[in-house]
Amino acid sequence: MFDAAELGQKVSKSEFKERELDLRSRLLILQYRTLELARFPVIIDFAGVDGAGKGSTVNMLNKWMDPRWLRSIGYRAPTEEERARPRFWRYWRDLPQKGRIGLYLSGRYSRPLLGRVYGGSDELEFDRRLAEIIRFENALVDDGALILKFWMHLSQAHQKKRLDELSADPLQSYKVSDDDWKNHENYNDFIAAAEQIIARTNRGGAPWNIVEGVDLNYRHLRVGAIIAAELARHLDTHERQAASARNAEAPRHVEPVAMNPTTVFDGLDLSQKVARREYQKKMKKYQARLGYLGRKAFDKGISTVLVFEGPDASGKGGAIRRTIWSLDARTSRVHQFAAPTDEERAHHYLWRFWRKIPRAGFVSVFDRSWYGRVLVERAEGFATEDEWRRAYNEINDFESQIVERGILLLKFWLHISEDEQLERFKKREMSPYKHWKLTDEDWRNREQWDAYEQYGHDVVQYTSTQKAPWILVEANSKLHARLRVIKTVTDHLEDRVESD
């Protein structure tokens, strides 16, 4: 795979100077078009052989382009905060926003590669790590991102020469670490793992490019030219799309719902009730138990994510409040999601939820969540059909990463009948301190009751997985629903705390 990158290609200083001028202004113009269009982020990764000039290429790009809209990002061993989250949390956190460019060193490929070479991970584990990367890149590419990946190459002989040169120069010898020599000795394993990585993760929208790293001038021009060509192509596509979207000016298309005569909610016995006396007794017991378990979970570093969805006025807020009542307010947090900020809008829709994954031992409660993508955004046509259909899979992947990190994830769907909702809306209208909860939008959503039931049905159907099942809660009786929620949280947390 790498023979073509051992041809000894060189560019003379004078030729470099001449071509640099032209390349530099092209890159700048493309960078500004990207910034102005603001429809996709550009992610540029540098991996490769030690000594092949990854760092110097990043420096050169920083010089060539406008550094205000460019960020260099590198990773080391995960910190305490990073270790408590799913592996990809830090990559999500550092994504450039639409219109901007991120240059990555020692990024998501670095640890799988070293793990494979030094035996930390076997073939199966290596495969799984690559599959994670592919899912991550797919989510971004599907959302429009341009991902460019460079493998900077040196033959083993050239690597030795380079390391010897550096070691002999008293000003540069510090750059050569024992790890570099160790990697050099394992050159063949290193290259074998790299071949697998490149073969498996090379795809349209996220291509690999192998660049010969011996000659500094050649390498810089080559990387710059590839970026310019790929970025120009990507921009053309997106600018055309933007133009045709403008011309069309179609009213928001809301796809007609093929009504399902029965939904998963039809099977619920919404009439279930509980006597107030029994409720009070049990609630007190569960709150006490949960308070105790919450403390234990914190000590053990077990984190919890609770998700609440369901129709307006289904009692999510009340159930949440009573559930977290006995938890330590210093280690639990309720997140509600208003309209996204401009920074949030400039990212993938999952980005703002990734940011709220709790740290070790903490509880994050989501009062409405990433399911907005397949509920309100679907209903209102904010997401295209392709976008919301894809989202089920993206959400399943997101949740499986949460669960795999050892975080307890529980998803509650609180369901009420159409009549019960009407009753509650009327009561809210009359209440001096609850009418803020009721907006015109709520009445509008009510008109789409059947459609929302269908959307909810699809949510349960496509995202109730073994790892992250939906818990459907009959909520016409608030007391019944609250008990059901707190009991479920308590039981699951108990299992987890005691098995851990």
Cβ closer to its own copies: 188 or 431? 431
Structure tokens at 215: 């000659």
Residue 213 corresponds to which tokens in the numbers above?
């790293």
Name the residue nearer to its own copies (CB basis): 284 or 467.
Answer: 284
Burial of 188 (0-12, 13-18, 19+ CB in 10 A): exposed
Q: Nearest approach, Cβ of 301 to its own copies (angstroms)?
A: 12
224, 334, 426 from 337: Cα distances, Å: 41, 10, 25
In whole angstroms, the minimum distance from the beta carbon of 373 to its own copies comes to 19
Give the separation between CA 150 and CA 207, rounded to whole angstroms. 8
Residues at the contact surface with its own copies, assessed by CB under 8 A: 21, 24-25, 28, 32, 55, 58-59, 62-64, 66-68, 71-76, 79-81, 103, 105-106, 169-172, 174-175, 284-285, 287-289, 291-292, 295, 317, 321, 325, 328-331, 333-334, 336, 338, 341-343, 359, 367, 432-433, 436-437
Q: How far is the CB of 24 from its own copies (least distance, A)?
A: 4
Residue 46 three-state SS: strand
Q: Which of 436/447 has CB closer to its own copies?
A: 436
Task: Give the residue with the Cβ less far from its own copies, 80 or 249.
Answer: 80
To the nearest whole angstrom, how small is the minimum distance from the Cβ of residue 289 to its own copies? 8
Distance CA 269, CA 168 (A): 79
Q: How far is the CB of 26 from its own copies (least distance, A)?
A: 9
Q: Residue 333's closest CA among 356, 363, 305?
A: 363
Nearer to its own copies, 172 or 241 (CB): 172
Query: Distance between CA atoms of 122 and 132, rounded to whole angstroms?
Result: 15
Comparing CA positions, the residue from 328, 335, 331, 315 lying closest to residue 287 is 328
Any bridge partners for residue 408, and if so which?
304
* 67: exposed, middle or buried (Cβ count in 10 Å: 0-12, 13-18, 19+): exposed
In whole angstroms, how close is the CB of 195 to its own copies at the nearest point? 25
* 54 torsion bin: left (phi>0), alpha (psi -120 to 50), beta (else): alpha
Distance CA 215, CA 462 (A): 52
Cβ closest to its own copies, residue 264 vs residue 324? 324
CA atoms 118, 122, 127, 131: torsion sign? negative
The smaller minimum CB distance to its own copies, of residues 71 and 160, is found at 71
Residue among 166 and 460 whose Cβ is closer to its own copies: 166
Shortest spacing between CB 5 and its own copies, in angstroms: 23
Amino acid 41 reads P
The distance of closest approach from Cβ of residue 222 to its own copies in the complex, given in angstroms and rounded to an integer, is 19
